[in-house]
Amino acid sequence: MFKMKLSELKRGESGIIIGYADEELHLKLMEMGFIIGEKINVVETGFFEDPMAFKVCGYIVSLRKTEAAAVEIDKITD
C-alpha cells in the first residue's frame, strides 16, 4: 500500500481511508461516509478529473478535487 491523497487516485483505483489533512472538512467528510478504515474507490471523474465520484459505505458520493485532497488514503495495489 502507498500513502497518498484521495484526489490522486484514477478511475477504477481503490484505497483505505487513513486520515484527514483538513480539520475544517473533517466532520463534513465523516458525515458523508469518509470514515477511517473504510475502503473507497473512484467510480467516475468529471472533465479535468473534477468533480470525482467515489463509492464508499455502499453508496456513491461526489467531491470536488480540492475536497478529495483532504482525505488521506493507503492505495490498494493489485
Count up the domains in the chain and report the number. 1
Domain of residue 15: give its range: 2-76
pLDDT per residue over 3-34, tens digit each? 999 999 999 999 999 999 988 898 999 999 99
Record the cell numbers describing residue 55, joined without a space. Answer: 463509492
Q: Which of 2, 58, 51 is nearest to 18 (CA)?
A: 2
Residue 69 pLDDT greater than 70, yes or no: yes
Position 1 scores a pLDDT of 65
CATH number reported for the structural domain that contains residue 61 in this entry? 2.30.30.90
Confidence of residue 2 (pLDDT cuts 50, 70, 90): confident
* Residues whose CB falls within 8 Å of the CB of residue 41, separated by 6 or more in sequence, listed in order: 9, 12, 13, 14, 15, 54, 55
Distance CA 56, CA 34 (A): 7
- pLDDT tens readout for residues 44-59: 999 888 999 999 999 9
